[in-house]
């Protein structure tokens, strides 16, 4: 997403950001490497009249800044590729679990969720830096995406059953279609915490709030229903 900026504009903003970090770090740690020391001296050359030595220093600092920028962009790309790969793995594990809902596959799905969510959290620093350099409009778009992907806290009872409320949540509301379009429309429709999308919604659905203390919800709760129980039939519901 950072690359939607023109590269010179990004480099200017990001190099200034790196410069500020280097100055702060150099004041805090005597063990910084030579690259950070050179970046810290940049503040002095900016306030002096240009000389041959300052021109050489500026050139050297610029080269190092470019290396840092490109190195960080490569890190962003690598981390985003890791997130994508882990999400794809989670999707594949989910498809297998839906096909055969047993405890072994449920544990594998939970483990896959943990890997995917951890990789997303590890990229949080990139999103923080993005907010510092992108436009306000693009930053709002980024925040909206983050709200859909990883919002917390959520309201569990809006999603599924919770203790003492066995029929709560849209999962148990037979008047609400659980198609993907409708699920998106339900996300935060009344309140920000009433989420239907994102990592933490999936987390609650996978672990649930068990009616037995200390025991996560069993795989049997995910079994496909082939016929309705007596109460829905008496209410004239049909299974499609």
pLDDT digit string (tens) for 17-58? Answer: 444 443 333 344 344 343 333 333 443 443 444 555 555 567
Question: Residue 43: helix, strand or coil by DSSP?
Answer: helix
SS (H, E, C) the chain: CHHHCCHHHHHHHHHHHHHHHHHHHHHHCCCCCHHHHHHHCHHHHHCCCCCHHHHHHHHHHHHHHHHHHHHHHHHHHHHHHHHHHHHHHHHHHHHHHHHCCCHHHHHHHHHHHHHHHHHHHHCHHHHHHHHHHCCHHHHHHHHHHHHHHHCCCCCHHHHCCECCECCCCHHHCCCCCCCHHHHHHHCCCCCCCCCCCCHHHHHHHHHCCCCCCCCCCCHHHHCCCCCCCHHHHHCCCCCC
d(CA 49, CA 204): 61
pTM of the model: 0.71
**How high is the pLDDT of residue 181?**
92
Q: What are phi and psi of 82, to 5 degrees?
A: -65, -40
Q: Is 199 or 5 the better-scoring residue by pLDDT?
A: 199
d(CA 42, CA 3): 25
**How high is the pLDDT of residue 240?**
73
d(CA 173, CA 84): 32
Q: Is 87 or 3 the better-scoring residue by pLDDT?
A: 87
| Least confident range of 15-19, 61-65, 90-94, 145-149 | 15-19
Q: Where are the domains of the chain?
A: 1-44+63-150, 152-240
d(CA 68, CA 46): 20
Q: Which residue has the tokens 């840092």?
A: 68
Contact partners, residue 98, CB within 8 Å, separation at least 6: 222
| pLDDT tens readout for residues 137-176 | 888 988 899 999 999 999 999 999 998 898 899 998 888 8
Q: Is 74 or 91 the better-scoring residue by pLDDT?
A: 91
**How high is the pLDDT of residue 215?**
77
How many degrees, rounded to 5, is the angle at CA 231 between CA 229 and CA 237? 85
d(CA 47, CA 44): 6
The rounded percent of the chain whose pLDDT value lies above 90 is 40
Q: Let me know: does 62 contact 39? Beta carbons within 8 Å.
A: no
Contact partners, residue 234, CB within 8 Å, separation at least 6: none
């Amino acid at each position: 997403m950072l690359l939607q900026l023109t590269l010179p504009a990004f480099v200017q903003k990001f190099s200034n950001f790196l410069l500020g970090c280097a100055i702060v770090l150099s004041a805090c740690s005597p063990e910084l490497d030579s690259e950070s020391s050179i970046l810290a001296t940049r503040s002095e050359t900016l306030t002096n009249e240009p000389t041959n030595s300052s021109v050489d220093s500026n050139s050297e600092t610029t080269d190092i800044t470019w290396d840092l920028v490109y190195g960080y962009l490569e890190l962003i790309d690598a981390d985003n590729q890791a997130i994508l790969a882990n999400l794809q793995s989670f999707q594949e594990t989910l498809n297998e679990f839906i096909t055969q809902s047993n405890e072994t596959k449920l544990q594998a799905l939970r483990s896959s969720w943990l890997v995917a969510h951890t990789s997303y959290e590890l990229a949080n620093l990139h999103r923080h830096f993005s907010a510092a350099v992108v436009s306000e409009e693009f930053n709002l778009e980024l925040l909206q995406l983050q709200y859909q992907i990883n919002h917390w806290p959520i309201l569990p009872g809006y999603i599924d059953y919770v203790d003492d409320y066995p029929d709560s949540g849209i999962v148990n509301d037979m008047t609400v279609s659980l198609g993907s379009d409708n699920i998106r429309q339900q996300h935060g429709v009344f309140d920000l915490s009433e989420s239907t999308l994102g990592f933490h919604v999936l987390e609650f659905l996978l672990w649930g709030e068990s009616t037995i203390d200390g025991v996560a919800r069993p795989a049997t709760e995910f079994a496909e229903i082939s016929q309705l129980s007596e109460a829905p039939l008496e209410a004239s519901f049909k299974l499609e």
